[in-house]
């Protein structure tokens, strides 16, 4: 999460060149292969920044991807390109220093007995009582009142229950537990070459389209209407931008389809 200040100066844009290696056709500066790569870079980094802002750009020159963006978005572009080059492999994850402290704090035991209270106010009050940062956007004030009765329960479980009663998601971010309408999205690459026959790029695209339709139809169908969510086939990989729960469900669905097709 990032706190924005009204009237603050915009972040400066910086021009950088990325050697995209095998992601671009040899010597190509235009054509379907180039457009497909640039479209995927845009799609995977768009949830984390703005490609429509004044002065930003994404282009190709002599086999290099040329990007003018903020420092934060350059980090996303670099991560995206590296994952594309490595077929979706994630770099080693380093747990942020606040993660362990927050987990320990959310394990504290609480007793709650409330009826007909504002869920945002209740969540903030529980956090304040335990000196744990709990963030609920002010626009969520005034939701349908909730009732909650828990005895000697972990604080994290109590906050997750409040979120569930209100149709919200609870997730950690920057040292706090956040309750909001939507969880953050993540990017995942799934190997699906064995599930798509003929392979992606062949004249008959019905198998590839069928796989995408199956995932969208069986993994939380309503969630694909979210602006940040997306799914597409890129080469022999299924590239999905979704919540962590939806990504796990996609993985399970693909494994089930794989097991069934091997019988």
Half-sphere exposure of 24 (CA within 13 A, CB side): 24
Query: pTM for the full model?
Result: 0.78
Greater confidence (238 vs 196) lies with 238
> How confident is the model at residue 95, as a pLDDT?
86
Instruction: Give the full edge-to-edge strand order of the sheet including 176-180.
Output: 134-135, 176-180, 169-173
> How confident is the model at residue 196, as a pLDDT?
83
User: In the CATH hierarchy, which top-level class contains the domain 97-180?
Assistant: alpha beta
Distance (Å, whole) CA 125 – CA 110: 12
Per-residue pLDDT of 169-227, as tens digits, reads 999 999 999 999 999 999 999 999 888 866 555 555 567 788 999 999 999 999 999 88
Instruction: Give the pair of three-digit tokens for residue 216.
Output: 């969208």
Q: 240: burial class by Cβ within 10 Å (0-12, 13-18, 19+)?
A: buried
Mean per-residue pLDDT of the chain: 88
Mean pLDDT of 92-109: 92
Domain boundaries, the chain: 14-85, 97-180, 185-261
Q: 125: burial class by Cβ within 10 Å (0-12, 13-18, 19+)?
A: middle
**Sign of the four-CA dihedral 57, 59, 62, 64:** positive
Long-range contacts (CB closer than 8 Å, 24 or more residues apart) made by 48-55: 48/72, 48/73, 48/76, 49/73, 49/76, 53/10, 55/13
- DSSP β-ladder status, 134-135 and 176-180: parallel
In this prediction, residue 30 has a pLDDT band, given cuts at 50, 70 and 90, of low
> How confident is the model at residue 261, as a pLDDT?
80
Distance (Å, whole) CA 200 – CA 40: 15
Question: Under CATH, which number does the domain 185-261 receive?
Answer: 3.30.70
């Amino acid at each position: 999460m990032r706190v924005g200040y009204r009237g603050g100066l915009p972040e400066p844009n910086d021009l950088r060149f990325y050697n995209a290696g095998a992601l671009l056709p040899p010597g190509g500066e235009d054509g379907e292969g180039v457009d497909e790569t640039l479209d995927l870079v845009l799609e995977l980094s768009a949830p984390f920044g703005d490609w429509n802002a004044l002065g930003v750009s994404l282009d190709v020159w002599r086999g290099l991807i040329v990007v003018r963006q903020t420092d934060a978005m350059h980090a996303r572009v670099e991560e995206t390109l590296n994952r594309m080059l490595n077929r979706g492999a994630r770099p080693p994850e380093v747990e942020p220093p606040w993660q362990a402290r927050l987990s320990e704090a959310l394990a504290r035991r609480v007793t709650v007995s409330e009826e007909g209270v504002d869920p945002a106010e209740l969540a903030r009050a529980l956090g304040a009582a335990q000196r744990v940062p709990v963030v609920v956007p002010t626009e969520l004030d005034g939701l349908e009142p909730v009732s909650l009765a828990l005895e000697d329960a972990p604080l994290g479980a109590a906050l997750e229950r409040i979120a569930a009663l209100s149709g919200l998601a609870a997730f950690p971010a920057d040292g706090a537990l956040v309750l909001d309408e939507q969880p953050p999205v993540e990017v995942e690459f799934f190997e699906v070459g064995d599930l798509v026959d003929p392979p992606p790029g062949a004249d008959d695209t019905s198998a590839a389209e069928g796989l995408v339709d199956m995932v969208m139809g069986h993994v939380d169908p309503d969630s694909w209407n979210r602006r940040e969510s997306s799914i597409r086939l890129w080469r022999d990989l299924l590239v999905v931008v979704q919540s962590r729960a939806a990504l796990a469900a996609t993985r399970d669905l693909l494994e089930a389809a794989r097991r069934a097709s091997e019988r």
